[in-house]
Structure 1
Amino acid sequence: MGADGGSIPKRDELVKTKAKAERHDPALFLAVSWFFCALSKEPLQEPIVSCGLGKLYNRVAVLQYLLDKSHYGDAEAICGHITSLKDVTTLHLTPIAADQTSTPTSNTAVKATMALANDANLTPRFVCPISGREMTGKIRFVYLHPCGHVLAEQALREVHSGSTCLVCSTAYDPATDIVPLNPRPDEIDALRANLAARKARVKAGKKDKKRDKKRKSTDTPSSLAVDKDAVDVQQPVVKKQRAVATVNMALPDMPALKPRTAAIESLYAKPEGGDRGSSSATKSAVTTDFMTRGTVRRIG
């Protein structure tokens, strides 16, 4: 009792119960997911990109986030896994033809999101290029990571094309390269695992390319290959050939001796007359030889 003259408190006023889980309006959630950027909350405008978790973004909003992480308050919670433009894929969407009538979204979705979209037009703008189904969120759409083409999941499943895109024939891995747009909450963990697998595959590919490039730089063609042992053997041979060429080199033509003058001939005058063995001849040779002239030498 309240002890204040008859007021009786109820049980829910005294006992704190567990708060009920917040429930979102499915129509509102559908419109926000398929017609608005998950980061900037603005209407989707091409170019439109998607991350490995299947969320839709305006490319301009992603660029603003990469330049300034604090530009959007809840950016880390929404796209904290995006560190560069390599982490997003530009989507190739097929617009609805001008003569093709488009079915607007339900009245509930339109009324619930008009305030957020500033009277934006929430009629579908894109279709599946295979089945022609409109991308309104009522059916599941997926995109292929290698090429970015957006297709209806049912069309991709029914039209068997192996592992190539139905639009551009680009090869893809069915296990990891098919990303659903706006997936269910129970699919997020599997998408994170696929995202990690793709990053590991890209990293391994870079290592292989670097290894191949290094191998090509070391493996020169046979015509240009130079063996170190061959160089060591050829160097003495080359030196020997150079020495032989130097020895066998033709000498230059020597100029002819000029004739001696009379003064030079007088220095080399031979003894005249008398016997070579006589003392007079010896004396004459001594006196006429310029090398012994003026010297005394004992003869005998």
Structure 2
Amino acid sequence: MYADKKPDKIDPNEKRLGKWLNCALSYEPLREPCVIDKLGNIFNKEALVEALLGKKLPKEFRHIKGLKDMINIKLSMIPGNQSDSADGATFQCPISGLEFNGKYKFFALKNCGHVVSAKALKEVKSSACLVCHKEFIDSDKMVINGSEEEVAALRERMEEEKAKSMKEKKKRGIDIVDGKKDCGNLEGNGKKSSNGGAKKFRAMDMAPANATKEVYASIFTSSKKSDFKETYMCRSLPLGRN
């Protein structure tokens, strides 16, 4: 009679429905607008944005840093009353009519956001969305609530995209620095100086033809030092000029 009480078993069907019919963060029923992250978790957008602003995201969702990490999706409502569905599903595939309840695999298309079943994509071979006819590529397909293997593949893709983005930002930063260095090495005529630095301007180099360079330079600068010395008593009256 003192044996430990066994924990209550969770009904697999209830667990499945909870994952597909409710927000992964707030556990409230899904309602538009909805979004998914880059791992295929589905959220009510309002709940996710509020958690981001309040910095209250759980550890498993820390990879979501902002709106750029959310993909807006478009779910198709089941026509009529929600009670028509045996599982209480609210959404369905707009092509095949399969219910969005976890029994079937669904994909979200990143380019347009429409959510369609894997069965519809398999049966209707097309490179365009079956709802809006917008072109997409294979990497645009995001599996929703995928298996462990599928989530691992999505995580690997996410890390690759992050590394690529960081590399591009770093490259742009180097290009900007190099551009500043190149500008500093330009001569007056727009060419780089041979010694790697900016060439100093000298007036005599710009003297017109048949002009004495020293005289022409004296117009702009007192480049030639005087041969006269000033007296101790009167600095304004150099010796030899009185």
Distance 2:118 2:160 in 1: 22
Report the 3-state secondary structure (helix = DSSP H, G, I; strand = E; otherwise coil) of the residue aligned with 1:139: coil
Distance apart, 1:123 and its partner CA: 4.1
Distance 1:200 1:228 in 2: 36
Alignment of 1:1-300 (within 5 A): 23-70=9-56, 75-96=57-78, 104-106=84-86, 109=87, 122-128=88-94, 130-161=95-126, 167=132, 169-172=134-137, 174=139, 177-210=140-173, 226-229=190-193, 239-241=206-208, 244=211
Distance apart, 1:141 and its partner CA: 0.4
Q: Tell me the residue number matched to 2:219.
A: none
Q: Identity of counterpart residues, as a percentage?
A: 30
Residues 105 and 95 from structure 1, CA distance in 2 versus in 1: closer, same or farther, beyond 3 angstroms? closer
Please say if residues 77 and 90 of structure 2, whose CA atoms lie closer than 8 Å, have aligned partners that are also in contact: no
Distance apart, 1:32 and its partner CA: 1.4
The amino acid of 1:84's aligned partner reads G
Residues 29 and 48 from structure 1, CA distance in 2 versus in 1: closer, same or farther, beyond 3 angstroms? same
From the CA coordinates, give the structure whose radius of gyration is larger: 1
Residues 27 and 160 from structure 1, CA distance in 2 versus in 1: closer, same or farther, beyond 3 angstroms? same
Residues 202 and 29 from structure 1, CA distance in 2 versus in 1: closer, same or farther, beyond 3 angstroms? same
Please say if residues 24 and 42 of structure 2, whose CA atoms lie closer than 8 Å, have aligned partners that are also in contact: yes
Distance 2:138 2:159 in 1: 14
The amino acid of 2:85's aligned partner reads T
Report the 3-state secondary structure (helix = DSSP H, G, I; strand = E; otherwise coil) of the residue aligned with 2:65: coil
The amino acid of 1:200's aligned partner reads A
Residues 201 and 228 from structure 1, CA distance in 2 versus in 1: closer, same or farther, beyond 3 angstroms? closer
Distance 1:145 1:170 in 2: 11
The count of corresponding residues between Structure 1 and Structure 2 is 207
Residues 240 and 86 from structure 1, CA distance in 2 versus in 1: closer, same or farther, beyond 3 angstroms? same
TM-score when normalising by structure 1? 0.52
Distance apart, 1:62 and its partner CA: 1.0
Distance 1:82 1:154 in 2: 29
Residues 232 and 203 from structure 1, CA distance in 2 versus in 1: closer, same or farther, beyond 3 angstroms? closer
Please, which moves more after superposition, 41-50 or 186-195?
Answer: 186-195
| Unmatched tracts of structure 1, length 5 or more | 1-8, 110-121, 248-300
Distance apart, 1:142 and its partner CA: 1.1
Q: CA RMSD in A?
A: 4.3
Distance 1:103 1:152 in 2: 22
Distance 1:212 1:165 in 2: 39
Residues 88 and 23 from structure 1, CA distance in 2 versus in 1: closer, same or farther, beyond 3 angstroms? farther
Distance 1:43 1:161 in 2: 32
TM-score when normalising by structure 2? 0.62
**Can you list the C-alpha shifts for 1:235-271, whole angstroms capped at 9, x where unaligned?**
5675321883999xxxxxxxxxxxxxxxxxxxxxxxx
| Unmatched tracts of structure 2, length 5 or more | 216-242
Please say if residues 39 and 78 of structure 1, whose CA atoms lie closer than 8 Å, have aligned partners that are also in contact: no
**Can you list the C-alpha shifts for 1:96-154, whole angstroms capped at 9, x where unaligned?**
5x5x7888332xx4xxxxxxxxxxxx3433433x4454433321101234543322122
Report the 3-state secondary structure (helix = DSSP H, G, I; strand = E; otherwise coil) of the residue aligned with 2:142: strand
